[in-house]
Structure 1
Amino acid sequence: MRLIRRFAVAAILALPLAAPAQAGDEAAIQNVRDLYAAFSGAVKDGAGPLPARVEAVTPVIDKVFDFPAMARIAVGSKWSGFTPEQQQALTKALKRSLTVTYANRLSQAAGGQFEVMPKIEMRGAQRVVPTKVTTVGGDDSEVDFVVNADDRVQDVLLNGDVSELAAQRTLLSKPLASGGADGAVKFLNERADGMLAAKPASKPAPAKAAQ
């Protein structure tokens, strides 16, 4: 019986704590609202060309995301061994790669809805702004923004547990191991270039009537 009670208490403590927005949380929530406003505006007339989406969302992404912190976390322990110039180049390349990535993903959200919850969730030491993205087909995804003490985004979680930073760290592990900072910068820029150069998926032709 005691063991069951312990598990019950542990489960309760593990639940995210949702609280009404406090004065110190409003800036974080507004940052995410501004981000989604730009996302909605970028696809209000349909997905459009990727370069146009990148141009539309770049200013707000620059404002809302803490790319120096994200680059440091994504690179990991090797970060301290790089020169300031290398760190700056890595930060710039990561910012470009992620900006193009988010703009690219917007093609799936054209005609959908972006909803920001008016609250902050505390998950351990993390402050999270929870949101929901609904596609035009009605598919929902939970997209949660982890914000730091400066109210800027330093990670994005898909459906509660898929971390953008963890994915970036995995992607960068081989380029960092084989080419150091320069290898990682090259990889990130080539990744962005590849998305920008890709041709939009063509719509399937209508089926012909049987003869």
Structure 2
Amino acid sequence: MRPFILTALISYLLLLAPAQAEEGAGATVERLNATLIGVMQEAEALGYQGRYDRLAPDLEAVFDFPLMARAALGRHWRTASAEEQAAFTEAFTAFSIAVFADRFDGYSGERFEVTGEQPARRGTVLVRNQLVKTDGEIIAIDYLARLDQAGGGWRLIDTFLDAKYSEIAARRSEYSSIVQNQGLDALITALKDKTAGYGDQQQ
């Protein structure tokens, strides 16, 4: 290869790499949407467990479940032991995936649309997203995204239903009450039971 061609190729690759690294938060939601549509289209054939198994690796790639678990547990995270934190994060992650596997259980021609991004608090980005049904009904499902400090691109850290209800805030309120009245072990057990319950309902 001639020197000037090699130099041009290296320059092109150097320009391309930052562009890929700076992919917007909306692209993360687009990947999630594509995964969900694929699972919805095969929902009946997959069954609940098949949907769970198909969704798990993709959801763990786009959501920052460890950070979400910490936020959902709120002030109780600081007083939990390392073992309790790990057990809660595992139970929280499994439950979160189970919710998706249960919710997206069929397909009737729906489509997702990412409609924009806007800056949010502490360097996060709110990705405006919606589910459009065949009858024209629109359901807003927005996501809060944060750049992974380890260089993994944009990760989703919260979901807003109807453009206003934070799932993390709702869970934090629910979980705080359980921990205060019954303890963290009881919350972990409750999450495991709920996760198992989704599968039992489909049998």
Please, what TM-score do these two structures have when normalized by structure 1? 0.76
Q: Residues 4-28 of structure 1, C-alpha deviation per residue, up to 9 Å, x if partnerless? A: xxxxxxxxxxxxxxxxxx9876242
**Matched residue type, 1:26:** E
1:38 & 1:83 partners in 2: Cα distance? Answer: 35
Q: Which residue of 2 aligns with 1:90?
A: 88
The structure with more helix, counted as a fraction of residues: 2
| Distance (whole Å) between structure 1 residues aligned to residue 133 and residue 43 of structure 2 | 12
Give 1:46 deviation, angstroms.
4.6
Deviation string 1:89-147 (CA, Å, 9 cap, x unpaired) is 11111111111101211126553111123x42123444111111123443211111101
Q: Would the alpha carbon gap of residues 171 and 110 (structure 1) be closer, same or farther in structure 2, given more than 3 Å must change? A: farther
Determine the C-alpha separation between the residues in 2 that align with 1:93 and 1:63: 17
Question: What amino acid does structure 1 have at the position aligned with 2:27?
Answer: Q
Q: Give the aligned partner of residue 31 of structure 2.
A: 34
Structure 1 residue ranges, 4+ long, deviating more than 6 angstroms after superposition: none
Q: Which runs of 5 or more residues in structure 1 are unaligned?
A: 1-21, 201-211
The equivalent residue for 2:201 is 198
Moved more, 153-162 or 27-36: 27-36
C-alpha offsets along residues 42-85 of structure 1, whole Å, 9 cap, x if unaligned?
11135442111111111110111111111111111110111111
What does residue range 173-184 of structure 1 map to in structure 2 within 5 Å? Answer: 173-184=176-187
Assess if the C-alpha contact under 8 Å between 1:47 and 1:106 holds in 2: no
Residues 131-183 of structure 1 deviation map (CA, whole Å, 9 limit, x = unaligned):
11123443211111101132111100012111110121133123212332211
- Would you say the 8 A contact 1:109–1:135 is kept in 2? no
The match for 1:152 is: 155
* Aligned-pair Cα RMSD in Å: 2.2
Identity %: 26
Give distance in 1, aligned partners of 2:134 and 2:121. 34
Matched position secondary structure for 1:152: strand
TM-score if structure 2 supplies the norm length? 0.79
Query: Secondary structure, in 3 states, of the residue corresponding to 2:74?
Result: helix
- 2:62 aligns with 64
**Are 2:10 and 1:45 equivalent residues in the alignment?**
no
Distance 1:52 1:163 in 2: 28
Specify every segment of 5 or more residues in structure 2 that has no aligned partner in the other structure, as ranges.
Answer: 1-18, 149-153
> Distance in 2 between the 1:191 and 1:138 partners?
33
